[in-house]
Amino acid sequence: MNKPLTPHGPGFRFLDTFECVEGNGIGIWHLNPELWFFKDHFPSNPIAPAALLMEFAAQTAGALWMKDSAKPDAALFVASVDAMRIQSAALPNETLKANVTLVRELGPLAQFEFEITSASRAIARGRVTLSQQLA
């Protein structure tokens, strides 16, 4: 059995694959129409929630940060989300790609810029800061 890409349980894991390309983290998440949130978000009009798009970016950032870490299984926490823009709706059956870049690391904190796309369509962008400590 392959080791999970993040420390989350299976119900809150939004990263199907991860790779590092020229220093950037590339995460892939296929929006299976059977995912638990589509039924209610929204009935008859399923759209991936913005909060989960942010979580997808954060998990990709975490995988990038921990890639060469001495403690790759360390828990990471979202410390802030800045300047996030939703550019279009993410729909069932789309395959999302998060492209994450490390901006700056300082002690237990690291800030990343992210862009989420589906094929060539922009879905969301913003910045997320992760912490190795709970606030």
Partner 1 sequence: MDKETSVDILRSMLAENVMLKIDVATISEDTPLFGAEGLGLDSLDALQIIIAVEKKYGISIGDATTARDALQSLGVLRDWINGRLTTA
Which residues partner with 81 through β-bridges?
128
CA 101 to chain centre: 12
Q: Which is nearer to partner 1, 91 or 101 (CB)?
A: 101
CB of 105: closest distance to partner 1 in angstroms? 9
- Check residue 13 and report its DSSP letter: -
By the 8 A CB rule, do 100 and 64 touch?
yes
Which positions touch partner 1 (CB under 8 A)? 79-80, 82, 103-104, 106-109, 111, 129, 131
Closest contact distance (angstroms) between CB of 78 and partner 1 is: 11
The nearer residue to partner 1, 73 or 82, going by C-beta atoms, is: 82
Greatest Cα-to-Cα distance within the chain, rounded to the nearest angstrom: 46
The token pair at 69 is 């870490």
26/109 with CB nearer partner 1: 109
